[in-house]
């Protein structure tokens, strides 16, 4: 949510929100989400006056049909609401492993887009999000309710998922599912395992509630599994990035995700 919020704050919409366009950093930046591929991005308002682009219809579908908003399928000019709706489908893809409109067959690409659109419109949000926290239903319902030139309430949307995060008992420890898979079963020096020692490493560039950067630690448990933890982190706020990465990679924001089956950090 924060990544898309940042792009919108720079007067652009992405128009191709999909899992493959979200990447995780590596090494000390392993907890940062990067958004890439601005080949379909479009300026939606004037940088000086903030005059919004006009409403138009009969537009060709731009983006990836699986994650496109309903209005995009209907040929309506895209705006901020469409990026946010697409993000909702990405989140549900992560939750479910697939979407109801995947795997539809058709003779032509246009016919396939029409079948995807029909299935998307005929699938109630409650059915799409069944079995998952109600906040996902709330998120998509909110995004679909936005008018063409409305500014999404990004803070409200972030808070929805913070509520889920805390209700599920997760903590900001930067230990994600893929970290656990990577380190499970790996053995380390037995001395450090036995004495429970922790090796301090460089700070990760985040601060807690505006204070100094928190220290990150690596430690090993009795099974030799490495865990990366932090101290006293409750609400994460970004500091200015000094990354020399491509201009198409924007590590800005507070929330995290993953380009393939991301889930919340482990406790």
Q: What confidence category does residue 177 fall into, taking pLDDT thresholds of 50, 70 and 90?
A: confident
| Residues contacting residue 9 through CB under 8 Å, at least 6 positions apart | none
Q: How far apart are CA 99 and CA 77, in angstroms?
A: 24
∠ CA 16-18-24, rounded to 5°: 120
Q: What is the pLDDT of residue 181?
A: 79
Q: What is the pLDDT of residue 2?
A: 96
β-sheet bridge partners, residue 200: 217
Q: Of 27, 182, 161, nearest to 87 (Cα)? A: 161
> In the chain, what are the domain boundaries?
2-167, 177-234
Cα→Cα distances 212→119, 174, 238, 240, Å = 49, 18, 11, 13
The answer to whether 232 is a known catalytic residue is no
Evaluate whether the domain defined by 2-167 bears CATH number 3.40.50.2000. no
Whether 187 shows a pLDDT value over 80: the answer reads no
| Residues contacting residue 255 through CB under 8 Å, at least 6 positions apart | 1, 2, 3, 33, 158, 161
pLDDT tens digits, one per residue of 103-143: 999 999 999 999 999 999 999 999 999 999 999 999 999 99
pLDDT tens digits, one per residue of 140-164: 999 999 999 999 999 999 999 999 9
The kind and range of the H/E element at 136 are helix 134-145
Q: What confidence category does residue 238 fall into, taking pLDDT thresholds of 50, 70 and 90?
A: very low
Contacts of 231-238 spanning 24+ positions with Cβ under 8 A: 232/208, 233/171, 233/172, 233/173, 233/206, 233/208, 234/172, 234/208, 234/209, 235/172, 235/208, 235/209, 236/172, 236/206, 236/207, 236/208, 237/206, 237/207, 237/208, 237/209, 237/210, 238/205, 238/206
Q: Please tell me which residue in 5, 16, 82, 83 is annotated as part of the active site.
A: 16
Q: By three-state DSSP, how is residue 32 classified? A: coil
Say what the pTM is.
Answer: 0.70
């Amino acid at each position: 949510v924060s990544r898309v919020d940042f792009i919108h704050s720079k007067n652009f919409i992405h128009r191709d929100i999909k899992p493959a366009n979200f990447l995780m950093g590596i090494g000390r930046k392993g907890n940062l989400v990067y958004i890439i591929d601005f080949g379909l991005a479009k300026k939606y308002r004037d940088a000086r006056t903030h005059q919004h682009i006009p409403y138009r219809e009969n537009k060709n579908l731009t983006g990836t049909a699986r994650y496109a908003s309903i209005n995009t399928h209907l040929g309506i000019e895209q705006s901020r609401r469409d990026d946010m709706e697409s993000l909702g489908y990405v989140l549900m893809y992560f939750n479910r492993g697939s979407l109801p409109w995947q795997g539809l067959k058709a003779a032509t690409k246009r016919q396939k887009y029409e079948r995807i659109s029909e299935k998307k419109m005929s699938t109630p949000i409650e059915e799409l999000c069944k079995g998952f926290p109600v906040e996902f239903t709330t998120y998509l319902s909110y995004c679909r309710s936005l008018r063409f030139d409305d500014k999404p309430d990004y803070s409200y949307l972030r808070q929805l998922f913070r509520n889920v995060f805390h209700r599920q008992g997760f903590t900001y420890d930067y230990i994600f599912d893929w970290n656990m898979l990577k380190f499970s079963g790996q053995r380390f020096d037995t001395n450090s395992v036995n004495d429970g020692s922790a090796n301090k490493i460089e700070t990760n560039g985040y601060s807690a509630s505006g204070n100094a950067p928190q220290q990150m630690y690596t430690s090993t448990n009795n099974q030799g599994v490495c865990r990366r933890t932090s101290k006293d982190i409750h609400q994460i706020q970004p500091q200015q990035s000094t990354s020399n990465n491509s201009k198409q990679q924007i590590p800005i924001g507070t929330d995290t995700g993953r380009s393939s089956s991301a889930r919340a950090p482990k406790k």
